[in-house]
């Protein structure tokens, strides 16, 4: 059974203590800036009303977190498994060094989404942003998949300056022809092929279900796929020995 | 051996927040104190402070000097200097509350004063320049005396402690301001002492800052050529002097000053429209040593307004919001919602994008 937690005036460590005990899941009300919510937690549902603090779901290990509003910086920092669903927008550095699981955002994302994201064997982290993304999207991305849909209605480009700086693995899908986007030299941006779109459908299916969106309508647009040029684009920067 | 604060390095932190009424309505200090509570972990108890604008209406034509003294000797020496330099209208201890969270306080005084007209005339400087020189003189030459606030109808209140305790200590519920800024400190490279708490102020400019300035020494060397002296052992001080130099002495607009402090990269400038490109090139070329690099989010307070600014790479967080005539700025949305749960138009300014808010024209300040 889900436990109700009124977080008014509650310290983050007490809130997390109560969450750890709530193996049947918890619904938090009056959340206001408590950090590290759900940190490292396995299988359980956590529903949040209010504004969770930084590093929501850090090191998450299988829990499902749902936020009925905005979240702040470093959502899913180094998360391992599980799902974080945000109905509003998020701050900077979401999915920092994320190595598994899903981050789904209906609204916009701030700077450096997916920085240092990585994949390993069966672990493939996925971030889907419904609106626009700030600068340095996918900075140093080493693996996993980032999708930005650009369905925002508050103006501005789908992605700001310097996307994919230092990218050396993984994939970035942008729901745009990206004619005005300046990518760095070591990545390739090309229109998504039918096979790419089929792969993308797999990443977006759960996102659209959870947010009650029409998957076919979301897919019915030109997408650009960005990948790094080679397996080791920085080899020339170092001594080869 | 236990190392003292200032003898070791501790990483990360800081919280900033602000509110302004565009109608110039007065607000007590209670809400701005509330805003710091959800951000408690951003500070470590080694500095907290506030600036309030419009708080001294009965003395609004006088400069309000807030001064820390290490003891009576420093106070007497400083007062002797002040009596010769200024016409002192009122001198008093700043009222504080004795609470367990704030200890080891220095003597904390304030002086309402005005420069002697005859002195201004003979030196051929205006009153702001004269007061700025008085502040520099005290901070450089009088040991144990630090002027930490020196504008008209505004004041800075700061201490070693958590900001929410500092607000209680200074009885901020008894002050009414049309704009407030606040800071919770987590000192990274420099000591946590009373003079090193934020806001840093000169005349009516105040700066609260989250971050650390990589270009500090380049900035310091440059600004010290123009009559400023960095005496407070921390990087943020130099931002205050840069603001005073660019805005008061050079007469730049706030937007132009932002284009100097957080200048875009050359390749970003190259992609801007012609007129904007030429202006940005000009600013970077004329004031290259006042470009501030490294992570920062700052709120600059001044008479009648606020400016929020992030470093050009946006290495620190900042959020703005509105409700009615009020505009809110903070490191975290939670801090804004602590002041106004129904805040609207939550917005995260881009790196180097100044957010400037002014009290409407015609409102009495």
Q: pLDDT digit of tens for each residue in chain B (365 aa)? A: 555 544 544 445 799 999 999 999 999 999 999 999 999 999 999 999 999 999 999 999 999 999 999 999 999 999 999 999 999 999 999 999 999 999 999 999 999 999 999 999 999 999 999 999 999 999 999 999 999 999 999 999 999 999 999 999 999 999 999 999 999 999 877 888 999 999 999 999 999 999 999 999 999 999 999 999 999 888 999 999 999 999 999 999 999 999 999 999 998 999 999 999 999 999 999 999 999 999 999 999 999 999 999 999 999 999 999 999 999 999 999 999 999 999 999 999 999 999 999 999 988 88
pLDDT value for B10:
45
Residue B3 burial by Cβ neighbours in a 10 Å radius (0-12, 13-18, 19+) = exposed
Taking only the tens place, the pLDDT of each residue in A30-40 is: 999 999 999 99
Closest CA to A105 of A138, A72, A80: A72
- Whole-model pTM? 0.94
Say how far residue A185 (Cα) sits from the centre of its chain: 24
Mean pLDDT for the stretch of residues A227-231: 81
Q: How many domains does chain B have?
A: 1
Query: Is residue B10 assigned to a domain?
Result: no
The tokens describing B61, both together, are: 């034509």
Non-local CB neighbours of B121 within 8 Å, separated by 6+ positions: none
Nearest residue of chain A to residue B34 (CA atoms): A9
* Chain A: closest CA distance from residue B194 (Å): 27
Look at B38 and A73 and tell me if their CB atoms are within 8 Å.
no
Residue the block writes with tokens 């230092």: A166
pLDDT value for B194:
95
Residue B205 burial by Cβ neighbours in a 10 Å radius (0-12, 13-18, 19+) = buried
Query: Is residue B122 assigned to a domain?
Result: yes
Look at B337 and A51 and tell me if their CB atoms are within 8 Å.
yes
CATH at B310: 3.60.20.10
Query: Is residue B364 assigned to a domain?
Result: no
Residue A182 burial by Cβ neighbours in a 10 Å radius (0-12, 13-18, 19+) = exposed
pLDDT value for B332:
97
Query: Is residue B4 assigned to a domain?
Result: no
DSSP secondary structure of A193-218: PHHHHHHHHHHHHHHHHHTT--HHHH
Look at A51 and B350 and tell me if their CB atoms are within 8 Å.
no
List B14, B78, B222, B230, catalytic entry:
B14
Structural domain including B194 reads 15-358
- The ipTM value here is 0.92
pLDDT value for B190:
82
Cα separation, B70 vs B142, in Å, equals: 11
Which phi and psi (to 5°) does residue A3 adopt? -95, 140
Mean pLDDT for the stretch of residues A96-100: 97
Beta carbons within 10 angstroms of residue B109's beta carbon: 18
Q: Residue A146 is inside which H or E element, if any? A: strand A142-148
pLDDT value for B189:
79
Query: Is residue B160 assigned to a domain?
Result: yes
Instruction: Tell me, yes or no, if B38 comes closer than 8 A to chain A by beta carbon.
Output: yes
Residue contacts between A and B (CB atoms, under 8 Å): 55
Cα separation, A207 vs A195, in Å, equals: 20
pLDDT value for B281:
97
Cα separation, A63 vs B360, in Å, equals: 49
Query: Is residue B8 assigned to a domain?
Result: no
Taking only the tens place, the pLDDT of each residue in A162-208 is: 999 999 999 999 999 999 999 999 999 999 999 999 999 999 999 99
pLDDT at A238 over 70: no
Query: Per DSSP, what are the bridge partners of residue B159?
Result: B48
The tokens describing A82, both together, are: 């599980």
Cα separation, A100 vs A42, in Å, equals: 13
Rg for chain A, CA atoms, rounded = 18
pLDDT value for B9:
44
Non-local CB neighbours of A147 within 8 Å, separated by 6+ positions: A126, A127, A128, A129, A172, A173, A174, A175, A200, A203, A204
Instruction: Tell me, yes or no, if A16 comes closer than 8 A to chain B by beta carbon.
Output: no
Intra-chain end-to-end CA distance of chain A, in Å: 58
- Going by the DSSP 8-state scheme, the letter that residue A76 receives in this structure is T
Look at B350 and A134 and tell me if their CB atoms are within 8 Å.
yes
The tokens describing B362, both together, are: 């015609």
pLDDT value for B188:
78
Look at B332 and A135 and tell me if their CB atoms are within 8 Å.
no
Cα separation, B5 vs B8, in Å, equals: 7
Instruction: Tell me, yes or no, if B337 comes closer than 8 A to chain A by beta carbon.
Output: yes
Cα separation, B21 vs B52, in Å, equals: 12
Out of B41, B317, B333, name the one closest to residue A35 (CB): B41
- Going by the DSSP 8-state scheme, the letter that residue A159 receives in this structure is B
Residues of chain A in contact with residue B38, where contact means CB-CB under 8 angstroms, are 32-34, 53
Cα separation, A36 vs B153, in Å, equals: 41
Residues of chain A in contact with residue B211, where contact means CB-CB under 8 angstroms, are none
Look at B317 and A32 and tell me if their CB atoms are within 8 Å.
no
pLDDT value for A239:
55
Give the SS3 label for residue A89: coil
* Chain A: closest CA distance from residue B285 (Å): 23
Query: Is residue B7 assigned to a domain?
Result: no
B363 part of the active site: no
């Amino acid at each position: 059974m889900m436990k109700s937690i009124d977080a008014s005036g509650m310290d983050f460590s007490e809130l997390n203590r109560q969450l750890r005990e709530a193996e049947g899941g918890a619904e938090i009300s009056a959340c206001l800036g408590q950090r590290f919510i759900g940190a490292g937690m396995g299988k359980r549902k956590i529903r949040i009303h209010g504004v969770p603090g930084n590093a929501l779901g850090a090191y998450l290990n299988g829990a499902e977190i749902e936020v009925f509003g905005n979240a702040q910086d470093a959502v899913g920092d180094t998360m391992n498994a599980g799902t974080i669903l945000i109905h509003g927008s998020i701050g900077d550095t979401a999915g920092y060094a994320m190595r598994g699981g899903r981050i789904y955002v209906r609204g916009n994302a701030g700077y450096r989404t997916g920085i240092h994201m990585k994949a390993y064997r069966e672990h493939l982290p996925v971030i889907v942003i419904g609106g626009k993304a700030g600068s340095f999207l996918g900075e140093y991305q080493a693996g996993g998949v980032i999708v930005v849909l650009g369905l925002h209605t508050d103006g501005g480009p789908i992605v700001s300056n310097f996307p994919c700086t230092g990218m050396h693995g993984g994939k970035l899908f942008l729901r745009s022809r990206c004619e005005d986007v300046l990518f760095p030299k070591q990545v390739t941006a090309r229109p998504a092929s039918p096979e790419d779109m089929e792969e993308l459908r797999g990443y977006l299916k759960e996102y659209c279900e959870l947010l009650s969106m029409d998957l076919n309508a979301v897919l019915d647009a030109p997408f650009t796929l960005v990948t790094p040029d080679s397996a080791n684009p920085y080899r020339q920067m170092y001594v080869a020995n | 051996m236990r190392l003292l604060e200032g003898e070791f390095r501790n990483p990360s932190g800081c919280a900033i927040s602000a509110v302004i009424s565009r109608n110039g309505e007065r607000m007590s200090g209670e809400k701005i104190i509330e805003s710091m509570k959800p951000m408690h972990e951003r500070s470590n108890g080694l500095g907290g402070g506030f600036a309030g604008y419009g708080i001294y209406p009965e003395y609004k034509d006088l400069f309000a000097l807030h001064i820390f003294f290490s003891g009576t000797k420093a106070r007497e020496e400083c007062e002797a200097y002040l009596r010769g330099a200024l016409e002192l209208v009122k001198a008093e201890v700043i009222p504080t509350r004795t609470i367990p969270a704030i200890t080891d306080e220095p003597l904390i005084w304030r002086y309402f004063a005005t420069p002697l007209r005859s002195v201004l005339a003979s030196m051929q400087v205006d009153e702001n320049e004269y007061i700025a020189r008085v502040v520099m003189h005290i901070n450089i030459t009088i040991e144990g005396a630090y002027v930490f606030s020196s504008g008209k109808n505004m004041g800075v209140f700061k201490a070693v402690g958590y900001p929410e305790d500092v607000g209680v200590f200074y009885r901020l519920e008894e002050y009414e301001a049309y704009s407030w800024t606040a800071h919770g400190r987590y000192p990274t490279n420099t000591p946590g002492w009373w003079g090193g708490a934020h806001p840093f102020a000169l005349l009516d400019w105040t700066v609260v800052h989250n971050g650390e300035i990589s270009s500090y020494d380049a900035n310091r060397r440059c600004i010290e050529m123009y009559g400023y002296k960095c005496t407070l052992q921390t990087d943020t001080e130099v931002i205050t002097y840069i603001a005073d130099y660019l805005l008061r002495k050079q007469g730049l607009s706030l937007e132009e000053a932002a284009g100097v402090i957080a200048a875009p990269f050359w390749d970003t400038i190259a992609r801007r429209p012609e007129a904007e490109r030429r202006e940005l090139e000009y600013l970077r070329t004329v004031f290259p040593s006042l470009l501030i690099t490294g992570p920062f989010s700052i709120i600059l307070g001044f008479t009648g307004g606020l400016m929020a600014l992030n470093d050009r790479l946006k290495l620190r967080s900042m959020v703005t919001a509105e409700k009615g005539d009020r505009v809110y700025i903070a490191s975290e949305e939670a801090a804004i919602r602590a002041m106004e749960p129904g805040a609207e138009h939550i917005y995260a300014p881009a790196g180097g994008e100044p957010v400037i808010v002014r009290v409407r024209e015609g409102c009495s300040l």
